[in-house]
Amino acid sequence: MRETLCQMIERFVREEPGSHFPEDGGPYFTEPLIGFAAADDPLFTQYQTVIGPFHLTPTQFAQRETPPWQPATVICWALPISEPTRRSNRAETTYPSRAWAQTRQHGEAFNAALRRQVVQFLVDAGYRALAPQLHPAWREYPESPVGIASAWSERHAAYAAGLGTFSLNDALITPRGIAHRLGSVVTDLAIAPTARPWSDHRSNCLWYREGTCGACIGRCPVGALSKQGHDKGICRGYVYGAVPEAVGERYAVTSTGCGLCQTRVPCEDRIPAGKVASPA
């Protein structure tokens, strides 16, 4: 079932019309990375301390279903952004490229469709499933102790599933880099968890691994990044305010993203080697 599920996800990303630019048929994403975490992994409980008590565990989501059920696995994926789109964004210094902005809006709409597709695939196979990001219990908490947060973090789920580690800019560095979209589904189908080969939850980031790099700091046009980390308030104000106002109409989107700190950096499409190799 694990292999069949992975093949379905890969095929959907490759063949579904919504995963391609309408103008030229080019893909928003390349082949996905897929990982699995146990629904009762202690990390999900720890997140309620690290992120906040509002962050729900897989079991808490499933218990809000009618009727309630007991989850076994969290299925996670990373959709690496295509090289042409990343290349177009490397050249930008203030606002994202048109391709990046369209990937943020239309590519994420496809990602939502993928979540629904995975849920339906599992339900049709006789299992229970839900997508936390699309669940009625999901909501944002703009005034949390860690800044803007939500009831489910796709990044933290992906970390639990062995897909990567965190970076100076708060993103996730996977073996295919930091430029991606993430998704997850909770199910009662039992699948063996993916190993987490990292020595530390930040070990793929050169800044945290050896005190070098920090390239993402210079890529941020509004100073939301520093050696101390990521200022979510400044970042969000720019990404959801100034950027759409400046280029949204021209790009024909309402959600633009930014992604400058995810391109033209050593971790754009890989785990950077640096002086001290990552355990991955």
- Predicted confidence band of residue 275 (pLDDT cuts 50, 70, 90): confident
Mean pLDDT of 35-42: 98
Short-list 70, 2, 1, CA closest to 35: 2
Amino acid at 156: H
pLDDT at 280 over 60: no
What is d(CA 100, CA 112) in angstroms, rounded to the nearest whole number?
A: 17
Render pLDDT for 76-133 as a digit per residue (tens, 0 to 9).
999 999 999 999 999 999 999 999 999 999 999 999 999 999 999 999 999 999 999 9
Q: With 90 as the cut, is the pLDDT of residue 204 above it?
A: yes
Q: What does the alpha-carbon distance between residue 166 and residue 144 come to, in Å, rounded to a whole number?
A: 19
CB 121 within 8 A of CB 5: yes
User: How many CB atoms lie under 10 A from the CB of residue 148?
Assistant: 14
- As a whole number of Å, the CA-based R_g of the chain is 18
In the structure, what pLDDT confidence band is assigned to residue 278 with cuts at 50, 70 and 90? low
Distance of CA 145 to the CA centre of its chain: 21
Prediction pTM value? 0.95
Could you tell me how many residues make up the chain?
Answer: 280
pLDDT given at position 143: 74
Q: Which residue has the tokens 């980031």?
A: 205
pLDDT reading at 5 higher than 70 = yes
Which percentage of the chain shows pLDDT scores above 70? 98
Question: Residue 146: its pLDDT value, please?
Answer: 76
pLDDT of residue 144: 75
What mean pLDDT, rounded, does the chain reach? 95
pLDDT at 205 over 70: yes
